[in-house]
Chain A
Amino acid sequence: MSARLSRRDFLKFGVVAGIGVYVAAPGSSALAALFEKERLRPLPWDAHTGKIRYRTDATAKVTGEKVFSFDIRSRDLPGWPEQQSHAMLLRVTKADRLYAGFDLSVLGDALKPDRIVTAADLQRDGVAFPAFYGEDMLLPEGKTPAYLGHAVALLVFHDFARFRAAKNALKFRDDVIRWGAETGPLERPPWAAFRYVRVGGATPFDDDAYSSLKDTPLFPSGFDRKRPLWPQANAHGALDAQGAAFAANIAAELDAPADGTLVMEREYFSPSIDTAALEPDNGNAWFETATQTLHLVSATQSPQEIAEIAPLMLAASKLGVRNLVLHPCYTVGYGSKDHNPFPFYALMAGLYGDGKPVRLANDRYEQFQSSLKRHSFRMKYRMSVDRKTGKLQAFAADMVGDGGGRMNFSPSVCLVAATAAQSIYYFPRSDLASTVISSRALDAGSARGYGTLQSMGATEIMIDEIAGELGLDPIELRQRNVFTSGMKNTQGAIPGGAQRADEVLARCRAHPLWTQRGQRKKDYEAANPGKRYGVGFGCVQKDFGTGAEAAFAEVALSKDGRVRLRHIGVEMGTGMATSQAAVCIQWIGRPADEVLTGESQWSELPMFANADPWLMSQAEQDRNVGNPRWTPNLTSPSSASNSAYFFSHATREASRLLFTQGLWPAAIAIWGQGFGGGQLAPLSVRREEARWVDGKLTAHSLAPLPLQALIDKAYELGLATGVIVHTFNRWQWAEADFPLDGDDARLPLDGIALRWGDGSGNGRGTATANGYRMIERTRAHYPPAQRNNAGVVYYSAIGTIAEVAVDTATGQVDLLNHHSVLECGKPIVPELVSGQLQGGLAMGIGHVLHEGLPLYEDGPGNGTWNFNRYTLPRAKDVAVWKQTGDVLPPVSDTDPPKGMAEVVMIAVVPAIANAVAHATGHRFRELPITRDVVMDALRAAPAMKKEQPA
């Protein structure tokens, strides 16, 4: 700890591997520049309408305050030295030969780095990547790089002017890295392969003959030339052999279809893309040698990961680090800053700053060269359909993603790609296999879309083509096959709640863009010679959740009436801080006044985890479940789609418990004051009658009470004034029994801590920290480990109609208009939902028409990519003035909000691809559909004879 800073400035996260880990406390003086409390105006809202007027972080962002770690320099941080050093990573641009060192003579003496760090330094000092990020944080000489862009050296400069000049001098040069013999790229087995086989019963509602949930997914025994070796088929063998036998039957059915069955076989390609988060990866680290403390400011979507594994990295080194201080910031990443290696490079830079803070920040070329990418996928699909009924019969998929040089989240993306391929359809029989290979490409990670954009997009393009073959309206075909409530997905699981893709389809089919498309095509083409008009449709449902969603949240009331929300979630621009504040309204009567995000310190509720929640056996779970402080998983990283449902659950349950254990009994006490039981006595009042009206609590006909009066009473009587909860979800919420009364005896939570009154006295539970007492569960009810095989059970759906014009002289595709219908439960803040919808659509438009990166030598690993050649959609490309979107009304007032930030980008991809097909008569199965691609198709052959029915 810095001697210049008070201990009150930091919250101790804990001791990990002997390293004391501290998180700069929001509200302390340690990171004044980033204090949400200081920068954020109270959330403006109307108590009468419940409408939030603007984002909680809006003022800070619109006035250019320092909210990103990219903005932070050492002079901004109290206690840090004034002088800021700067560093850059030297990266290779080849990965098929031995690395033989580097030559910085181009810099001369004047621009020579003040410190050069290589693999030899790291080896000497015992500095290495955490295991998750693989080997060779810096590549040693004599080895072949594992991937393009592999870092080989860190160059540190103690003044900015020399740093800037040196960086400019080194850019785009091929003569800095020295090479040895050619070896060819490293050959390594794939990162993962999964296969889900299902053969349903007589109807979608009968028991399955075979499914992953009921039986087992198929796992490869090994790989042969990057292809998985699946179990041998044996109808009477082990479960997986039976699964392989069912798969063989499906293959035979598709090989020799019955009369009247159409089998379509197609191949699709979805490219690697850069998430293009405008804040580049960056960090600023200072090793304060006097106190052996390493400070890190860094952009991350997974601060908990850094708090947990950075100490392991530091403890293994010989550099004598004893403390680690982390500073959370706002960021943006669309998944590219989740479990990202960059913060560990920033940490490493800090270790070699010679006592000075070192800033390591990508420019855009470097960002392309090193940031986590969206997986490219090549997908071979076979689908059969009864020509007469238009009912889908069987679906076999073999998809191969490229995960690049490090594993990262490739196994998870691989799994999700397979389980999403069914899109919105019910398939009686399916065999969905997915492999993600390793390669010399840049790492692909948990980029928004996460395998589903790729696999569902392909399905939706295929369904459109099948409709054309059958002569059916494409939406009609979808309606005949749509997955409805109670059906089983391709893993054999029944998704939670009502499935409403059928409502989305019905609305879209009735939309004028769809009903009038034939006439509009005639009119447009008559008025615009040389242009072809088309309308296309796509409809998808996207899972959300990971199967091990976990969160901490605290809702607390201060004596002076302020509502404070602390949460593990990170604000990534999605409005998470705003929406979570608003979730409090239902139980607290108003949004949280103060929202602290990215919180890592939860000593008040000392839960622990000791195993991988996805790989955990039932026996392992059973062994641990008796310990009331054990949980399968402590926290989840923040993604665009998990805040609305999973994070809100934690916030809502904490708010609810604060109400039932604090505000409601306080209200009863106030209403019961006076002779004979006061105004309460003559009435029969139940808790479910409680309502917040204009910010005051009432029930039945009782006099409305302001929040402050309730808080005063709760403090006076030692009722709950603060609640911390822990949640866990494995496609089902973990529940536990607690020694509380009534409805609180069993809660959809696995850990709780309460603060009674001001926390100074006694109360139920075991005292932990900060006035809280942990109320240990008496029994836990975790979803069985087998439920991991459900794959996914939470979905939200979207349909998008796209209207395009294709210029036959240039191949240019103009998006004229689009309309979307989204189903996402009950939105928390409608403006944020519509903003996510519009933003997701733009990202999808980029994916289908503009964006795409070569994987290897010509790709971003060569350090020459930037926005001049990587085309992002601009306002003119997204039909900014004309686009429209509807959100389906929730099923009821209690319909929970659902994750929707990923699904919104997907349907527009096939919608546009199908619209271009409608316009030109050519099917495009490889993305992006650029001008050149369209022109090649138009030149190669005249339009297909069989167009979609108009």
Chain B
Amino acid sequence: MSTVPSRKRPLTLQINGRSYGPVDVPEDMMLVDVLHEYLGLTGTRFGCGQGECRACTVIVDDANGPREVRSCITGAHYFEGRRIRTVEGHARRDESGKIVELSNVQQAFLDHFSFQCGYCTPGFVNATTVLIEKLAKAPIAQADVESTVLEALNPHLCRCTGYVRYYQAAKDLVMATPGLVKDGPAKKEQAS
């Protein structure tokens, strides 16, 4: 373990459509620390620092499409020049920053009373958002919806809810969003 502070170098990245930096950040610092201590974005939660609980999940958008990345075990400089989304960036806001409309995923979690303490919620919002966006490009059969949601969200820990209401919200949203399920009701509605 190094006993001297790591060298700092400038970090520039795009978060929720806005450019941040250059900020001088130690080379070995994890992104979650930078979000919290340098940028004031604390919606991305610190849970375990090991990548086990996924409360710290952010979305990276690049040529390969959206994907989840654990910010507590991924060095901040990995994100140099990249575009990421955090939980603060999903709702539509007016010019003053006031929330005008929640994302479909967020609204589904509200409607299903999905969360309790809400500490893990940012990770679930991001994971479900990535799932929905991936399904839009690669729809699945209705019979596979439950297993697909389970595979996507199972890594995320929640201690309050027992998961059921998160999963039902995600499933209902997948089923209700046109184009995500090849043989689902939303698809039929769209066709008719």
Contact = CB atoms under 8 A, between A and B. Distances in A.
A161 B159 contact: no
Interface stretch (B63-71, B108-116, B136-144, B182-190): B108-116
Contacts, number: 216
A61 B167 contact: no
A277 B163 contact: no
B110 A278 contact: no
Contact of B162 (A276, A279, A832, A839): A839
A177 interface: no
B7 to A, nearest CB: 11
A832 B157 contact: no
Size class of the B contact interface (CB-based, 8 Å): 35 or more
A867 B52 contact: yes
A666 B28 CA distance: 67
A699 B20 CA distance: 61
Given A65-B43, A164-B33, A169-B2, A54 B163 contact: no
A839 B160 contact: yes
A447 B11 CA distance: 43
Nearest to B151: A876
A745 interface: no
B26 A63 contact: no
Interface string A566-606: 00000011110000000000000000000000000000000
Nearest to B52: A867
A625 interface: no
B49 A364 contact: yes
A59 B158 CA distance: 18
A534 B43 CA distance: 43
A66 B42 CA distance: 7
Nearest to B113: A831
B157 A872 contact: yes
A60 B43 CA distance: 10
A73 interface: yes
Contacts of A839: 116, 159-162
A364 B48 contact: yes
A469 interface: no
B49 A61 contact: no
A119 B64 CA distance: 55
B112 to A, nearest CB: 8
A676 interface: no
Contacts of A332: 116-117, 119, 159-160
Interface stretch (A236-244, A680-688, A840-848, A887-895): A840-848
Interface in B155-192: 155-165, 167
Contacts of A840: 162
Contacts of B135: none
Contacts of A165: 2, 4-6, 26, 28
A75 B37 CA distance: 10
B88 A63 contact: yes
A835 B4 contact: no
Given A62-B125, A108-B3, A164 B160 contact: no
A168 interface: yes
A115 interface: no
Contacts of B15: none
Choose among A57, A84, A279, A843 the residue with the greatest number of B CB atoms under 10 Å from its CB: A279
Contacts of A809: none
Contacts of A57: 118
A67 B118 contact: yes
B83 interface: no
A675 B57 CA distance: 69
A160 B8 CA distance: 13
A840 B160 CA distance: 8
Contacts of B75: none
A62 B124 CA distance: 9
Contacts of B112: 831
A277 B53 CA distance: 12
Given A364-B49, A831-B113, A875-B153, A110 B118 contact: no
Given A75-B40, A161-B8, A866-B48, A843 B159 contact: yes
B186 to A, nearest CB: 20
Contacts of A68: 119
A838 B26 contact: no
B29 A164 contact: yes
Size class of the A contact interface (CB-based, 8 Å): 35 or more
B109 to A, nearest CB: 5
Contacts of B87: 62-64
A880 B163 contact: yes
B154 interface: yes
A111 B121 CA distance: 35
Choose among A106, A111, A277, A332 the residue with the greatest number of B CB atoms under 10 Å from its CB: A332
B26 A573 contact: no
B160 A876 contact: no
B49 A866 contact: yes
A165 B38 CA distance: 15
B154 A875 contact: yes
B164 A838 contact: yes
B40 A364 contact: no
A334 B117 CA distance: 10
Interface string B44-87: 11111110110100000000000000000000000000000011
Given A278-B120, A279-B117, A880-B150, A55 B167 contact: no
Interface in A819-848: 831-832, 834-843
Nearest to B8: A161
Contact of B167 (A66, A169, A881): A881
A98 B99 CA distance: 57
Interface string B82-111: 000011101100000001001000100111
A62 B3 contact: no
A875 to B, nearest CB: 4
B102 A63 contact: yes
A354 interface: no
Nearest to B88: A64
A53 B44 CA distance: 26
Given A64-B86, A838-B161, A55 B110 contact: yes
A171 B2 CA distance: 12
Contacts of B118: 57, 60-62, 67, 330, 573
Contact of A278 (B43, B113, B159, B165): B159
Contacts of A837: 162
A876 B154 contact: yes
A162 B53 CA distance: 26
A278 B45 contact: yes
Contacts of A65: 43
Given A54-B110, A164-B26, A279-B45, 14 more contacts: A58-B113, A61-B121, A64-B44, A75-B40, A169-B3, A277-B119, A572-B117, A573-B115, A835-B162, A867-B47, A868-B48, A875-B167, A880-B162, A883-B164
23 contacts: A64-B86, A64-B122, A73-B40, A161-B8, A165-B4, A165-B6, A277-B117, A277-B159, A279-B117, A332-B160, A364-B50, A572-B117, A573-B117, A575-B116, A835-B113, A839-B161, A843-B162, A866-B52, A867-B47, A874-B163, A875-B163, A875-B167, A880-B164
Interface pairs A-B: 6 shortest CB-CB? A64-B43, A573-B117, A61-B118, A838-B162, A332-B117, A64-B87
